Amino acid sequence: MLAGLKSLWRTTGGTAGIEFAIAAPVLVAILIPLTDLGMAIYQQMQVKGAAQAGAQYAMAHGWNSNNIQGAVTRATTLPTLTATPAPAKSCGCPNGTAVVAAACGANCANGQPVGTYVTVGAQATYTPLIPYPVVGSSMTLSAQATARIQ
């Protein structure tokens, strides 16, 4: 009887199966959040592209809020994408990386005419595969693009 227990203790058949049974849940616990993160980043890229598409439309066709919103929503197939906040038109002077508000039709400090700018926003709701305590059951992805129009 003791010899049988010793031989059972030394056998290694099935060890790989036991190791896999232990490691598989850990791998799945890592894989699902990484997949969720990748999908969220991809959808954020789509939202940003949609906002940029709206700004490009305004650059090519001028100011028309409804058409700009249409360009945003047609830029991707995300079902929850909206052109929120609505496109806004403003006047200003470029100052480094920002645009300083100015009266339309006036001149900037450098003598150049004040430019007309459009700011386009886009939002979509991302629902992860499983709800996480930090994120919750969904999160809002948003992006904004500003372009000078003629």
Q: CB–CB of 39/139 below 8 Å?
A: no
Instruction: Please name which of 141, 44, 149 lies closest in space to residue 84, comparing C-alpha atoms.
Output: 141
Q: What is the pLDDT of residue 9?
A: 64
Give the Cα separation of 123 and 120 in Å (integer): 11
Q: What is the pLDDT of residue 76?
A: 94
pTM of the model: 0.81
Structure tokens belonging to residue 133: 């305590």
How would residue 2 be classed by pLDDT, with cut points 50, 70 and 90? low
- Judge whether 5 lies within some domain: no
Structure tokens belonging to residue 21: 């049974």
- Judge whether 22 lies within some domain: yes
Per cent of the chain over pLDDT 70 is 91
- Judge whether 7 lies within some domain: no
How would residue 8 be classed by pLDDT, with cut points 50, 70 and 90? low
Domain ranges, residue 32? 14-149
- Judge whether 47 lies within some domain: yes
Q: Is the pLDDT of residue 56 over 80?
A: yes
Q: What is the pLDDT of residue 1?
A: 64
Total domains present in the chain? 1
- Judge whether 138 lies within some domain: yes
